[in-house]
Structure 1
């Protein structure tokens, strides 16, 4: 009989995130920050070219600011 643990492994740190913070509520009215995801226009445009470390910096900032904002 095998003993399979259902608890997360010690190497599991952060919950999985989507590939992008985009929530399909794109609006940058009156400034350069999207009201849906919290990224700047430059960050949105450069997202696919960013490495994981650069994306993580953006993720940390937008999460601290209460983004991404989804309307349920």
Structure 2
């Protein structure tokens, strides 16, 4: 998934979008705030969907890790 997103966005844009979305999730930013921030980084905010999915799956994995360490 990460490779696919990098292929669409390029390495630099992927890293910027990843950081932006990660910070937005931590701060519980609104959809409008997120969209506005992403539009400053890429021409189409919809191109960032895979990065958002990647972050979601990473969060799910981190949340499940304590249960795996039984």
TM-score of the superposed pair, with normalisation by structure 2: 0.31
TM-score of the superposed pair, with normalisation by structure 1: 0.31
Select the structure with the greater relative contact order (CA < 8 A; seq sep ≥ 6). Answer: 2
